[in-house]
Amino acid sequence: MSPALDSLQGKTALVTGGSRGIGRAIALALGRRGASVAVHYNAAAEAAFEVVGQIEAAGGRAWAVQADLADPSAAERLANAVRTALPDRTGEDGLDILVNNAGVGLRARLPDVTPEGFDRVLQVNLKTPFFLIQHCLPFLRDGGRIINISSMGTRAAYPEMSVYAPAKAGLEALTLLLASDLGARGITVNAVLPGATATDLNQRARDPELSRAIAQTIALGRVGQPEDIADIVAFLALHEGRWVTGQSIDATGGQRL
Ligand SMILES: NC(=O)c1ccc[n+]([C@@H]2O[C@H](COP(=O)([O-])OP(=O)(O)OC[C@H]3O[C@@H](n4cnc5c(N)ncnc54)[C@H](OP(=O)(O)O)[C@@H]3O)[C@@H](O)[C@H]2O)c1
């Protein structure tokens, strides 16, 4: 692809949960295409700095920013930290790409869910992204992108996702209405729905035997890798993705079709 067409040069991005797994691959994919990336992390500081180092080593710009997104006040603090850092870190004063990727899982059927577990999943996977968008909107530039990482658990029934799937479904509902609301500013809003992807969150997809069993439910015959998801996110962030908005985009290789 021609560099002129695929470039994110001059664009700025915030990737939540950019330290590990899918978020790490997204941060690297955006950085490789020229975006200046705020790599958000919570506990995995070393991993986040490694991602920053990789982007810088390839000639890009990146910095790490910490926040525990289970904390209800974190969305506002994270947005303010990024806004404040942007001019020094990037020479820009606005954000172009917000990727709400950080998420937590909870494998529990409805009878086994505690109010605390429910609140944590809703906080990290829905409430914090909601308020992060709210606090980033004042400095998200026209023509920008909001990309929310959901899950195929919103379109296929997995009973042990009794809290996780409804939280992600809420994120998709938010995606749709924001796409309508922000279209006048040229901002696109989409959700990307990974299937089984080999990360710390999904140890089953990493286990050789279990991943072979999961692969039998996937049309393309293997579990996903973080880069499979990151390339779809990168497409949405690029100029080439400008005409897609309000969509929940399957990123599963055809899982449980
Ligand atoms: N893997 C799959 O099969 C799969 C399938 C469907 C959807 N997804 C979705 O894809 C996204 C990424 O998942 P993943 O598989 O890459 O997970 P992962 O490997 O466990 O990584 C999770 C990321 O989220 C961050 N995070 C977790 N809790 C946080 C908190 N309280 N505050 C701030 N950051 C927090 C982590 O930061 P630190 O490490 O720095 O703490 C880490 O960077 C999630 O939204 C997940 O729901 C994954």
Residue 112 lies in a domain: yes
Active-site residue, 127 included = no
Answer yes or no: is 51 within a domain: yes
Q: Are 125 and 103 in contact (CB under 8 A)?
A: yes
* Residue 103, domain member (yes or no): yes
Which residue has the least CA distance to atom 1 on ligand 1?
Answer: 197
Measured between alpha carbons, how far is 16 from 131 in angstroms, rounded to an integer? 13
DSSP state of 200: S
The phi and psi torsions of 17 (rounded to 5 degrees) equal 60, 40
From the centroid of its chain, how far is CA 105? 14
148 by DSSP, 3-state: which? strand
Give domain status of residue 223, yes or no: yes
Residue 148 in domain: yes
Residue 198: burial class (beta carbons within 10 Å; 0-12, 13-18, 19+): buried
Answer yes or no: 248 catalytic.
Answer: no
For residues 35, 142, 237, 15, the Cα torsion angle rounded to the nearest 10 degrees is 60
Tell me how far the alpha carbon of residue 188 lies from the centroid of ligand 1, in angstroms.
Answer: 23
> Domain range holding 72?
3-251
Q: pLDDT (tens digit, 0 to 9) for every residue of the chain, 257 residues total?
A: 444 546 999 999 999 999 999 999 999 999 999 999 999 999 999 999 999 999 999 999 999 999 999 999 999 999 999 999 999 999 999 999 999 999 999 999 999 999 999 999 999 999 999 999 999 999 999 999 999 999 999 999 999 999 999 999 999 999 999 999 999 999 999 999 999 999 999 999 999 999 999 999 999 999 999 999 999 999 999 999 999 999 999 999 999 99
Mutation to probe ligand 1, out of 128, 130, 199 (largest number of atoms < 8 A from CB): 199
CATH number of the domain residue 21 falls in: 3.40.50.720
Residue nearest to atom 44 of ligand 1 (CA): 103
Give 60 Cα–ligand 1 centroid separation in angstroms.
24
Domains in the chain, number: 1
* 257, part of any domain: no
Asked, for residue 256, whether it belongs to a domain, the answer is: no
